[in-house]
Structures are given as C-alpha cells and as structure tokens.
Structure 1
C-alpha cells in the first residue's frame, strides 16, 4: 500500500485544511481507509467490480461500521477524482446499508436532580475533588458541552458576569454555550481550590482532565444517585440537556445552535425522544384542536 499511503496522507491533509477535521476524525478516516485497503488490495486502482465485493466482505460488520467505512471511501475516491489521481469515481458501487439513527439514552429530571443533590452534598464538605466534580456536572448538564469541550476548557473560560462560553467544537467551528448562574457559582468555588498555575480549568498533572477520567467521574456521580452505570455518561447528560430544553419549549433551531450541530437533522432526533410533548403542543395550539 506504498502509493496508497501517500494518497491517504494527502487526502487527510486536505480534510484538515479544507474541512477543518479534528485529529480524532482524521485518525478514524485513516483507520477506515487502511481497513478497506486490506479488503481491496489497492485503493488507487480499485474499480466498481472490486467495490461491489465489499458488501460480502463487510457482511459481519455492524451497519454503522459499514456506513462509516463507505463514507470514508466515498470522500477519498471523490478526492482522487477531483485531484486527477484517477479518471473516474467508482464510489457509486459502495454498499449503502439502511441505517436507523438510534434514539439517545436519556435521564428524566428526577434522576438529574438526584445526581445534583448527591454532588452538592459531597461538595459541601469542601473537598477539592468534590467541588470540582460539581462544577463538571453543572457545565455538562447546564451547558450541554461535549466531553472534549468540557475537559479542554481554558482556566478563565467562565468569566464573571458573562452568561456564555465561547467554544471551538467539531470541525473547528465556534459557537456560544450558555452558562447558568449555578454553573458560574460552582466554577467560582472550584477556582478557589484549583491549582493556581496552568492553562486548564480542570487540570490533571501537566495536562487537562482526560475524557476517560471524566467518563469515570460521571459514572461515579451517577452511582451516588442510584443510576446504573450503563445508563450514564457525559454524552447522556448532554442528551438530557437537549431533551429537557425541548420539553421546556425551546425552539429546535435554537437547540441546534446550542448543541453545535452542523445539520438540523441531527437535532431533530430529540423530537422523537419527546414525542409526547409535541402531541400535547399540537392539541393545545392547533386551531382545529378547539373545534
């Protein structure tokens, strides 16, 4: 795959420069293209007949994995064609699995309240770790941050009197995220105990807190509230933020902006989660409902 490696490197350089893909996204593309090369032999010269065999070769893979690999190959072959490295784009022959977007795991408001009650009780002891954990929880649920966004926050990201955060999320795109008064107070209490030197709001050694460690901390906070570990994660709290906002009457476009979704179709999944409220809204507001 000597020639393929060079082409993959150039493709990833393009994705980083033009599409603003994150290091994690680039690593995923490389992994998927390397795996596909193992099935095809050579990516550069693979034709429609070769791509037509991938359906059988990938039969044992999960539909999401097939879709992801096909998407990586589709973009890669499009790049080769656009740059003149090959005269055609054979990607029409790639498998197209039928995917149904799974509904996100959610917590109800009582479970979230139980998590906060337990975290606040621990933080009342004044122990730095407990005070930090409460600040993490407030920002996860109150601002709807992604795990990576949260752990990599600069030390002064939350400013007094400023009810929002400026974030650089997926695709290196900037967005505003709300900061509640509760979250600001929790962060202020944590900063009084946090190490004074260092650029991160949530430091860990010479770096910031890792996503894996955040995952462990959230599970532990969930356990304090009696929530089974398989039902809780940082992303579940982000889902709870979105679902509970929608239930409270938030507009879908506003929710899209707060979550940093490039496509509103991604945000629309929450309308399925909260379908009961939408039915009530139609029955209460639609003119024919009163006849």
Structure 2
C-alpha cells in the first residue's frame, strides 16, 4: 500500500509517499480502508520535528503521518464489535507510530473508532475526530458561563464555539475580521477582532473577564488576560503552557481518542448541531502540497487527503 511518512523532520519537504505492506489488526483492533484523512496542524508539528523538540515523543527513523480518518472497516482482530464493511471514523492519537492515517489502510485500536455520521460524506466525516474531540473535551472541562474562544474560525475553535453554545455557554469569539460572519453563523454571541487588544475588547461584553478561555489559537498570556481572577485557561497544545496568574487554572489538554465521545460528536453532526468543513481535497500523492498549503495559513476548514 501507499503511505505518507516523515523521516527528515524538516517540515512539509519531509513528507514522503512510500510503498509498504498492508498492516494487520491484532486483538482489539480494526483495519480501515481509508476513504479520506484530514491534514491537521499537529501533522505539521510531526513533520517539522516539533513534537520531538517538545519532548512528547522520542526520535525515530520514521514517523507515520495523519490523525483523522474516515473509511470502511476492512478487517478486524478478535474482541471487536465493529463489522467489516461498516463506515467509520477514527483518531490515531499515538504519537510514535511508523504508519498512521495518511495511507491507503490504517490499523487503529477499536476504542478509538466509531461509526461514521449518516448525514455527511466521508471526506467531511474525516474532519470531525481530532478537532471535534479536542473541542468537546475542552468545553466539558470548563466551569462558568462565559467563554472566550480564540481561533474561532479554525478547526478546533469552530467546534468549540458550536459545542459551547450547545452546552448553554455565552460565547465570545476571537478571529480575523473577515471571519466574523462565519463565526457568528457557528453561534458566537459576541465577536472580537483578533487584532484588537484582546482583554480590553472582551471586557466590553464581560466587564469582570470571562470565566474561561479555550485558547485554540494558542495566544497565551494575551488570552489569559481576558479571564477573570480564579478562572480557567485551556491550552490545547504541547510545549510550554502559560503560568497560573491571578489564581487562574491552566489546563494543558492532550486529546484522548475514545469511542464514547466520538459517538457523541457523530450524534451532534447527524442532529445538525455541529458542522463539518472541508476546505480542499488532494489525492494522497499530493500530500506534500497539502502540507505546504496548511503551513501557509489562512485555511478555513480542513484540507483532506483522498487515497
């Protein structure tokens, strides 16, 4: 089969398409014939060596690329509930795998897989898992009523806006001025231009500061300054997290792939509560082009590889 990997770890130029054997599922695993696989910022972080630099994984000769997948179950190991031929989504959240979802086939633990939404095509379903789980786990961790979401037009931020509204929060969203209409359609109660002084702008709507921030854009201290004393700061990325200033709890969130919450997201897609967004699709052999496009920035929705 064909698979996309990184060996040199020097950014999009490190992305290679190789020929390799089709992996076999062990007990508790399923093999998925990949129909679509989103490209996420974490894939760039793997390809440029940032995750090694952060100490999140050890160096190795080859890193598999791709976290999100949508496709059909092709084979199962003993002890799994899914059946061959079922449409599924999954998340490959293990960092140190030599083969991952940017491939024609991928093997995942069954507890990181769920049946795909019925109401969207598989290219759209492939954008749900990683970003949706990150946003869902962030929003579930929050206390309080008012929430600031930075990067609200992005993959994680967009889902965080929709999910926070679903859970009854008042949402102040920060993004580029050109994204205001999009962010308001996602459900934001208030919009703040990311080029403004964030804390001052947020206090127009929450004079004492927001109860919490989901810092999807990883703004850091500038986002934390918009949070009230004793509030909550979700930092959804590796590397150094902001300090606990003014009694604010800073939680560094690493996604946990699990069937239960994937099922929750799928139900919300099928109920039209949250939306999937595909920016562009690329054939698998053009993976390096997709990585370069993501590195340029300004993508709204996800770039998706089609084997």
Name whichever structure is richer in helix by fraction: 1
Q: Greater relative contact order (Cα 8 A, min sep 6): structure 1 or 2?
A: 2
TM bucket (normalised to shorter chain) is: under 0.3
Bigger Rg, which one: 1
TM-score, with normalisation over the residues of structure 1? Answer: 0.23
TM-score, with normalisation over the residues of structure 2? Answer: 0.22
Name whichever structure is richer in strand by fraction: 2
